[in-house]
Each structure stands twice: as structure tokens, then as C-alpha cells.
Structure 1
Amino acid sequence: MDNYTNENTARRYKAHVSILGTTQLHIGNPYVIGWWSAAFPGFGHLLLSKYIRGFVLFIWEVFVNVKSNLNLAMMYSFQWEIDKAKEVLNTRWLLIYIPVYLFAVWDSYRTTVDMNKVYVLAEREEHPFNSFSIGALEINYLDKRSPLMAVIWSLFVPGLGQLYLHRIVTAFFVIVWTVVFFYFSHGLEAISLLFLGKIKEATNVINGEWLLFFPSIYGFAVYDAYINTVENNKLYEKEQRFYFVKNYQSRNFQILKGQKVK
């Protein structure tokens, strides 16, 4: 039986390779993850590969944000039109926005702390994990990718960096919502008008309420693609090192600590 087959015989695994992507444990900064949840609920959990929780919080954020006119109020507040901001806010929706928003930040911070502990324990166990997966629809395997290329593709369209890294679930989700944001914000229509020099028309056609979602989704796509590419490369190197030691290193090989080579 191949020792690299994941048969759930260990207590903890550092990673799992499937046709939908590579899910792995790695050390994360709880404050950074919490900040991403504050920037947009759900992003912190997606960075931790907690997909279901992340998707629920993300969709909740978009739905309640639009219903409460939160982004619209933010636009007016940026223009120092405080009275208009107060007028457009729908408190019926805003009051249920606050507790879930706080939960997203707190839970992502707490989960990061817990997962860091699990990673340390899994690292000590060093149980082998699968590094290749093939199915009827996809093939996935561990290899090294370029963090720079992941960033560049994410800047073109959010989600492409995740596709490059083979994070299929996150890529599909981010791409779909990028299309939704472009459609409702009329962003591409405004860009085409700008190219034609029709600045006033571009300003009139844009929907600022939906446009405000773009900084968060672009920032997340770039950060997620870069960080996960770096961690993917580390995982690849560890798996290669483990394989070479197991199959090629002599059992008599020893590293003598504290002795100088003459």
C-alpha cells in the first residue's frame, strides 16, 4: 500500500490534494485574517479554506449591505453629506448587520489561532499526505508556481490567480461575484465611455453603491493568490524533501551537531 495515500490513519494532516484544489494548514497571522474579515466578512474564512462559512458570510454581507444602503451612506459620508447618509440608511437591516459583522471578525481571529495550533501538531506528526489527484474532470498535483504571476492574473480579473494556483472553489466563487459587481456597477460601461473621452457620461452611468465592492474583492484576490502560492511552494518543497529522505537517503546518514568538518 502506498504510504502517500490519504487513508485518514493519522490524527492530523498538513494538506490534502483533490481535483478541486490543495487544502493545507499553515501559520497565519490572526490580526491579518481578522482585518480581512473586517474589510469584507467572509474573506478571512476563505483565506483559511473555511469555504462554507466564508461563502455564507460573503453572501450575507452583499445582501444586507445592499438592503441597508450601507455603501450608499458611505459614499455620502465621503462627500461630507452626513444628512443624506443618515437619510438613506435603513436601520431595519443595519441592526442585524452589526452583530454578524462582529462575529465574522471574531470567529476568523479565533479560528486562525486554533488552526495555528493544529498546524504545529501536524508538523510534528509529519504524516505523509497525497500529492497527486486525478478524476474524470480534473487533475491536480503539487508543483511550484510563481507568486508574481498569481498576482498579475488576479489584477486582470479577480479569480484568475486562484485558477492559476488550482484553487477551483475560491476561483469560481470570486469570478462569479466579480461579474455580478461589474454588471450592477456598470463598471465596464463606464470604462468604455472613459476611453471615448465621455467623462460626464461615464460618471452618470456608474453605480457607486456596487462600485465600492471592488476594492475589497480585488485586494482579497491579489492577497489570497500571493499568500497561497507562497505556501503552496513551501508545501511542495517539504513534500519533495520528505520523499527524497525516505527513498534515497542512506539509513546510516547522520548529521553530527557541534562538530567541525576537518
Structure 2
Amino acid sequence: MHLRNPYIIAWWSAAFPGFGHLLLSKYIRGYALFIWEVVVNLKANVNLSMIYSFQGNIDMAKAVLDTRWLLMYIPVYLFGIWDSYRTTVDMNKIYLLAEREEHRFNSFSLGALEINYLDKRNPLLSVMWSLFVPGLGQLYIHRVLTAIFVIVWLVVFYYQSHFQEAVILLFWGKIKEATSVINPEWLLFIPSHFGFAAYDSYMNTVENNKLFDKELRQYLTRHYQPDGFRIRKGQKVK
């Protein structure tokens, strides 16, 4: 847990429902909203409508929308934004309370499936691995659930959009074939996926580093600092 900007979390929920909750480690809610977004978006032809609007074909953009699905899509989309904002505000309050109480936390967990521990990592490496393959940055910092979810859905998006085929055709210089083979509806999911993976891995690496420093500081204070040690205005007072 750490302080977050509610507006940034709400923005990620607007970019792709579920991302804001995944940033808050609200996994079940995040997974549900993410899957809802993919299914209902495709049924309502939202991405297809966006493609036509980008091309300036407004009449076609309105014609392809399926209003039966769209009327279900909008309330859940707005709920995701509102709920992620509200949850961020509540979690910030809990964090501040835990800070004042100097609440202790585990820095090492040994389980049947995973050994998880707190250490310092390089934020730029997290971003680099996330840009290679979204999810690898999360694996680098032990966010296993998010990593598995992101990687699985990346495979789905790649397969359905024929992204890899288009890239190979581009390398061969076959521009027209690459354009024709691509599925733009599924392709529009990928940029948000990359952006979320890079941001989440970077932000959590930075915050984990802060948490590591805090845990080390508390350990040294408990075991090595004299009880009467005080610092006032930059001077040690005995």
C-alpha cells in the first residue's frame, strides 16, 4: 500500500476498465471489469466505431454501434472510473493511518508456490521488460498474479489481432499484406495493455524500493539505535 493520485487511477480505469483496480491490487474486481470490457466492447462494436471516427467517417461510426450492448457498456464503464477513484481515496486514508501507527509488514514470504521477498530493483529495467513483453516487468518485481493475467491476455490480443503476422510482413516490406491481415478491433486493445504494464511495473518498483528503505530503517532503529537517541534541528540530542 502507498499513496496514489485518485485522478491517475481513475484515468487508467477510463483508458481500460479494470486497470485502475489492478493498480490498487483489487484483483477480482479488476479481472471482472477487464473481461467485461473486452466482451461487451466487441459486442457493441465500440473499437470498430472508434476506427471509423478516426478516419472521419462519422456516419459509419454511428451505424456500426450495437445500442443493445452499448447501453449495458456505458454504466459499467462509468462505474469502473468512479469506483477506482473512491477506492483510491479510502486506501490513501488507510495508508496514512498505518503510517502513523508504524504498522509492521512482512518482507519475506515462503510458500508452496512462490518465494516472495522485498528487495531493491531498477525501475528502468521493469519498464524495459514490460515494453519487450507486457507482464515480464511484473514478474521482475514479484507481482505474479498481475503478470500472469497480463501475459495471458497479451497472447489473446496478439492472436486475435494477427499482430505478429503483420509485423513479419512489415519486415518483408509487404505493407499492403500487413495492413490487410491485421484485425483493428483487437489491435486497439494492445496499446493500453503495453502502457499499463510499463506504468504498473515502474510505479510499483519505485514504491517497493521505498518500502525496502523503510523496512531497513525500522530494523536498524529497533535493533541498533539507543532508546534515548533524538534528533532536533539537525543536531543530536542525548
TM-score (norm 2): 0.97
Equivalent residue, structure 1, for 2:137? 161
Equivalent residue, structure 2, for 1:48? 24
Preserved contact between residue 43 and residue 69 of structure 2 (Cα < 8 Å): yes
Per mean C-alpha deviation after superposition, the further-off stretch among 90-99 and 132-141 is: 132-141
- 2:80 counterpart SS class: helix
Equivalent residue, structure 2, for 1:226? 202
More helix per residue: 2
Output the CA distance in 1 between the equivalents of 2:232 and 2:78: 52
Tell me which of the two structures has the higher relative contact order, counting C-alpha pairs closer than 8 angstroms and 6 or more residues apart. Answer: 1
Within a 5 Å distance, the mapping from 1:173-184 to structure 2 comes to: 173-184=149-160
Identical-residue share of aligned pairs (%):
74
Unaligned runs of 5+ in 2: none
- 1:218 counterpart SS class: helix
- 2:198 counterpart SS class: helix
Query: Structure 1 residue 248 and structure 2 residue 224: aligned?
Result: yes
Unaligned runs of 5+ in 1: 1-24
Equivalent residue, structure 2, for 1:34? 10
Deviation at 1:252, TM superposition (A): 2.8
Output the CA distance in 1 between the equivalents of 2:112 and 2:35: 30
Equivalent residue, structure 2, for 1:194? 170
Deviations 1:12-34 (A, max 9, x none): xxxxxxxxxxxxx1100011000
Equivalent residue, structure 2, for 1:16? none
Moved over 4 A (4+): 258-261
Deviations 1:240-262 (A, max 9, x none): 1001100111223222347699x
Query: Structure 1 residue 118 and structure 2 residue 94: aligned?
Result: yes
- 1:197 counterpart SS class: coil
Output the CA distance in 2 between the equivalents of 1:239 and 1:66: 46
Output the CA distance in 2 between the equivalents of 1:64 and 1:184: 16
Equivalent residue, structure 2, for 1:136? 112
Query: Structure 1 residue 170 and structure 2 residue 134: aligned?
Result: no
Output the CA distance in 2 between the equivalents of 1:32 and 1:256: 37
Q: State the one-letter code of the partner of 2:28.
A: I
Within a 5 Å distance, the mapping from 1:71-110 to structure 2 comes to: 71-110=47-86
Preserved contact between residue 18 and residue 80 of structure 2 (Cα < 8 Å): yes
